[in-house]
């Protein structure tokens, strides 16, 4: 399953909100750009936000 489809499914089953879905898509985009060494297409703050979102998502699932 493609990541975007997975994110959409999580919204459909109310596992995440539409806002978190948008944040997830941004984090996925940063990850993809990093994986493809497109260093000039994201900033250190983009990486920090992607990391913060990932930690938040994991924490929400562990606490829930």
For residues 4 and 64, what is the distance between their CA atoms, to the nearest angstrom? 23
For residues 10 and 17, what is the distance between their CA atoms, to the nearest angstrom? 8
Return the HEC string of 33-58. Answer: HHHCCCHHHCCHHHHHHHHHHHHHHH
- In tens, the pLDDT along 37-53 reads 999 999 999 999 999 99
What integer pLDDT is reported at residue 1 of this predicted model? 86
Provide mean pLDDT across the span 20-49.
Answer: 97
SS3 call for 24: helix
Mean pLDDT over each residue of the chain, to the nearest integer: 95
Provide mean pLDDT across the span 17-32.
Answer: 97
SS3 call for 2: coil
Confidence of residue 61 (pLDDT cuts 50, 70, 90): confident
């Amino acid at each position: 399953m493609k990541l975007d489809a997975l994110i959409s499914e999580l919204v459909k089953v109310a596992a995440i909100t539409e806002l978190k879905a948008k944040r997830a898509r941004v984090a996925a985009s940063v990850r993809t750009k990093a994986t493809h060494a497109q260093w000039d297409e994201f900033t250190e703050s983009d990486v920090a936000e992607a990391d913060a979102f990932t930690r938040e998502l994991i924490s929400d699932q562990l606490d829930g």
